[in-house]
């Protein structure tokens, strides 16, 4: 930036001129030499031990405590010594913070110009020569010296504010406005200490040393107060800003962007994948070390003015004072910083993370809205396995809670933690189990049992449904193969979603699964809903035909709740019709329901379809259905969903007459929490359907 270069060049040139023009012997031969050395040392120490002061909403800022001592030197040592001290202090600070050459040169120029301005003001108001030697500060010099101090601070801040204004295209007056009150408060205290020091120095170094005690006391109390304020706004584990500081940072950045009428601020939310596993398997100490290392890696890609925050757990956030492209680029950099494995003790850990991005004002005009939308984007990224996702209004169908649930579901699928239960279907005439329906079960580690009606629609809206169906099909065929090996010939019904019917790869996958388990295709029924059949009818037809060619039967599930006419379904060549339980369970009491069931059964039989009545809850319904000629039934009265072992037990019993008595409840080996382990891995599922209790 030409501005930075011109400040640096002018400042450094003037510094050289002053160094050459200073008559050093004036100080070296004078009484003021040792007090000046004392003040210069104090200034250097002050630079190394800055105070970190929070100003209102903004992040804490380092305030150099060298200012009062440099000011005292402006009168006591003359321009040369004051300038050398200030430039040395600034160089020490730049070196400690490993600032680049350009920044260091700018700082040198900026401090030179401010100290020169201070001396010029002081000399002008007192009538002393600019290059004059040491002068003690009495009461007549006190005001000019303080005025010099104010000029020094103002010039200094102004030079910096211009850089900020150019970089952020914010108006200079706005930036100065932000800072004026804060600097007036902190700098006036420091400048008055400078005035006192300059006055006391004339009485000798011993008095100056006496001034140290109260100065150090003030420093320590201020530092302790600041430390407390820091603790309240920072995360103890990583030292990063906490949630409340993130809110402040977002508010400040939003106000800035709005004042400058530009896009921004950006917000990147970042969450580690599978962090819980690290904690669970390697312990919290390793988990904490990992979080600290992650924090350091994130900080390493941030510039001086951008800060990382930890929102608790394994979630981090960064506010970006820039547009969407800058925010997305930073999100990439942040994730890239985690790519190299992290070594903790003897273990090397590979950390993966996902990021959600939101940008103001498009995705939110205040901190809360930006956070909410970045959170939605983050969970979208997790669920869809994109590493970075930028918020879009179309994600809004999913609230954060739903997305979190979906992410937990993805983890459950990956960890093979979903269970499958089976509900028997009985031949209503003789009570024999002729089929079972596989139903998915999910015991959430925190929320407990989550009903399929809650998570299946979510899975359908994301890419997860494919993995979910594959899991159920695999488990169900495994169980079926075991029952068949024990001599039981029965069918297995598996629910498939609308999405699968447009998936031309489904028939091949089904065929492979059948072959793997050595189960004949005729033993498998795939249940689809009417709405699924209607949503993409042309593809559905292709997929269904291919499946039927394999020998797999197709059932229309929940029949009567959609809008498909039976004749249309017939054209699609389905094999089975499952009359929805909303008609069946009430057919004994509601004449209207009874008529619907009667006509459906009659029509289906005419079309040559097998009819399964769902939701049979009592013996009288069995009698009624038998009278209508319905072949097969399913419902709590005939058997609740149960584990594979439960089905094996039921299969071993002699058939019972369902029109007389309810189905026997299998006696299952239970583990202490009342759950049984399903046959092929997965989480324990209740002995009988947990959603309805027994």
Residue ranges binding Mg ion (CB under 5 A):
495, 527, 557-558, 614
Shortest spacing between CB 405 and ligand C2E, in angstroms = 15
269 interacts with, out of Mg ion, ligand C2E, none, CB within 5 to 8 A per kind:
none
Whether residue 249 contacts residue 59, with contact meaning beta carbons closer than 8 Å, is answered with yes
Shortest spacing between CB 471 and ligand C2E, in angstroms = 8
- For residue 618, the SS3 value is coil
Q: Which of 47, 289, 557, 645 binds ligand C2E (CB under 6 A)?
A: 557
Cα separation, 181 vs 559, whole angstroms: 72
Cα separation, 615 vs 579, whole angstroms: 9
689 interacts with, out of ligand C2E, Mg ion, none, CB within 5 to 8 A per kind:
ligand C2E
Cα separation, 49 vs 63, whole angstroms: 9
- For ligand C2E, the binding residues in 325-364 under the rule CB under 6 A are none
Shortest spacing between CB 461 and ligand C2E, in angstroms = 13
Cα separation, 226 vs 372, whole angstroms: 31
390 interacts with, out of Mg ion, ligand C2E, none, CB within 5 to 8 A per kind:
none
- For ligand C2E, the binding residues in 211-250 under the rule CB under 6 A are none
Q: What is the DSSP string of 364-426?
A: -SSHHHHHHHHHHHHHHHHHHT-SEEE--GGGGGS-HHHHHHHHHHHHHHHTT--EEEEEEEE
Q: Which of 636, 646, 647, 685 binds ligand C2E (CB under 6 A)?
A: 636
Helix, strand and coil in the chain, % to nearest 5:
55, 15, 30
Cα separation, 294 vs 352, whole angstroms: 11
Per-residue CA distances from 372 to 92, 364, 680 (Å): 43, 9, 40
Shortest spacing between CB 456 and Mg ion, in angstroms = 11
456 interacts with, out of Mg ion, ligand C2E, none, CB within 5 to 8 A per kind:
ligand C2E
Per-residue CA distances from 689 to 28, 434, 636, 641 (Å): 94, 20, 10, 5
Query: The tokens of 436 are what?
Result: 């079972």
For residue 617, state whether it binds ligand C2E (rule: CB under 6 A): yes
Residue (369 or 558) nearer to Mg ion, CB: 558
Whether residue 651 contacts residue 483, with contact meaning beta carbons closer than 8 Å, is answered with yes
For residue 621, state whether it binds ligand C2E (rule: CB under 6 A): no
Contact stretch for ligand C2E (CB under 6 A) within 146-154, 175-183, 532-540, 630-638: 630-638
Task: Identify any residues that bridge with 389 across adjacent strands, giving them in sequence order.
Answer: 356
Contact stretch for ligand C2E (CB under 6 A) within 148-156, 237-245, 295-303, 629-637: 629-637
Shortest spacing between CB 558 and Mg ion, in angstroms = 4
- For ligand C2E, the binding residues in 418-477 under the rule CB under 6 A are 423, 439-440, 451-453, 456, 469, 472
Cα separation, 554 vs 573, whole angstroms: 8
Backbone angles phi, psi at 97, to 5 degrees: -95, 10
631 interacts with, out of Mg ion, ligand C2E, none, CB within 5 to 8 A per kind:
none
For residue 558, state whether it binds ligand C2E (rule: CB under 6 A): yes
Q: Which of 87, 587, 689, 690 binds ligand C2E (CB under 6 A)?
A: 689
> What sign does the CA torsion over 221, 222, 225, 226 have?
negative
Residue (248 or 423) nearer to ligand C2E, CB: 423
- Judged by the rule CB under 6 A, the positions of this chain that interact with ligand C2E are 423, 439-440, 451-453, 456, 469, 472, 495-497, 527, 557-558, 581, 585, 614-617, 634-636, 641, 689, 691
């Amino acid at each position: 930036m030409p501005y930075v270069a011109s400040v640096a060049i002018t400042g450094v040139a003037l510094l050289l001129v002053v160094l050459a023009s200073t008559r050093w012997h004036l100080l070296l031969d004078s009484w003021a030499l040792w007090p000046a050395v004392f003040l210069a040392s104090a200034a250097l120490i002050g630079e190394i031990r800055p105070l970190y002061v929070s100003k209102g909403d903004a992040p804490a800022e380092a305030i150099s405590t060298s200012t009062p001592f440099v000011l005292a030197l402006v009168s006591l040592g003359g321009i040369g010594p004051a300038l050398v001290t200030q430039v040395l202090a600034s160089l020490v600070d730049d070196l400690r913070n490993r600032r680049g050459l350009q920044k260091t040169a700018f700082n040198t120029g900026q401090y030179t110009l401010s100290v020169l301005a201070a001396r010029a003001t002081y000399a002008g108001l007192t009538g002393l020569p600019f290059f004059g030697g040491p002068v003690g500060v009495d009461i007549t010099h006190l005001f000019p010296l303080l005025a010099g101090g104010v000029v020094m601070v103002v010039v200094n801040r102004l030079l910096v504010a211009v850089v900020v204004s150019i970089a952020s295209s914010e108006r200079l007056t706005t930036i100065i406005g932000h800072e004026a009150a804060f600097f007036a408060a902190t700098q006036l205290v420091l400048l008055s200490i400078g005035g006192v020091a300059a006055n006391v120095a004339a009485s000798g170094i011993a008095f100056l040393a006496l001034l140290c005690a109260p100065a150090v006391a003030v420093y320590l109390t201020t530092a302790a107060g600041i430390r407390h304020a820091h603790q309240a706004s920072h995360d103890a584990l990583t030292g990063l800003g906490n949630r409340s500081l993130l809110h402040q940072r977002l508010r400040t950045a939003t106000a800035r962007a709005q004042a400058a009428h530009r896009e921004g601020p950006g917000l990147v939310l970042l969450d580690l994948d599978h962090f819980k596993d690290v904690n669970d398997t390697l312990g919290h100490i390793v988990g904490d070390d990992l979080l600290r290392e992650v924090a350091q890696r994130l900080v390493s890609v941030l510039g001086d003015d951008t800060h990382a925050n930890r929102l608790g757990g394994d979630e981090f956030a960064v506010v970006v004072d820039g547009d969407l492209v800058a925010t997305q680029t930073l999100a990439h950099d942040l994730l890239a910083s985690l790519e190299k494995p992290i070594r903790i003790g003897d273990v090397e850990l590979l950390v993966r993370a996902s990021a959600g991005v939101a940008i103001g004002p498009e995705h939110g005009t205040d901190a809360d809205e930006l956070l909410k939308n970045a959170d939605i984007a983050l969970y979208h990224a997790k669920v869809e396995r994109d590493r970075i996702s930028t918020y879009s209004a179309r994600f809004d169908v999913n609230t954060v809670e739903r997305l979190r649930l979906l992410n937990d579901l993805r983890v459950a699928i990956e960890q093979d933690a979903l269970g499958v239960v089976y509900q028997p279907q009985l031949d209503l005439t003789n009570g024999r189990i002729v089929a079972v329906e596989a139903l998915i079960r999910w015991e959430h580690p925190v929320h407990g049992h989550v009903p399929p009606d809650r998570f299946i629609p979510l899975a359908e809206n994301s890419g997860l449904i494919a993995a979910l169906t594959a899991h159920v099909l695999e488990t169900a065929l495994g169980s079926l193969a075991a029952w068949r090996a024990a001599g039981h010939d029965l069918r297995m019904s598996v629910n498939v979603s609308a999405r699968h019917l447009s998936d031309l790869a489904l028939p091949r996958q089904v065929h492979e699964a059948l072959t793997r388990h050595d189960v004949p295709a005729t033993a498998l029924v795939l249940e689809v809903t009417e709405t699924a059949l209607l949503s993409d009818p042309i593809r559905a037809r292709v997929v269904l035909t291919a499946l039927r060619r394999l020998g797999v039967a197709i059932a229309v599930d929940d029949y009567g709740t959609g809008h498909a006419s039976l004749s249309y379904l017939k054209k699609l060549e389905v094999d089975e019709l499952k009359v929805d339980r909303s008609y069946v369970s009430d057919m004994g009491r509601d004449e209207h329901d009874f008529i619907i069931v009667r006509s459906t059964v009659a029509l289906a039989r005419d079309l040559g379809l097998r009819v399964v009545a769902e939701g049979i809850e009592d013996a009288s319904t069995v009698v009624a259905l038998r009278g209508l000629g319905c072949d097969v039934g399913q419902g709590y009265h005939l058997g609740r969903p149960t584990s594979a072992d439960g089905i094996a037990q039921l299969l071993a019993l002699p058939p019972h007459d369902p029109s007389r008595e309810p189905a026997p409840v299998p006696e299952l080996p239970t583990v202490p929490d009342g759950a049984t382990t399903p046959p092929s891995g997965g989480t324990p599922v209740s002995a009988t359907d947990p959603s309805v209790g027994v």
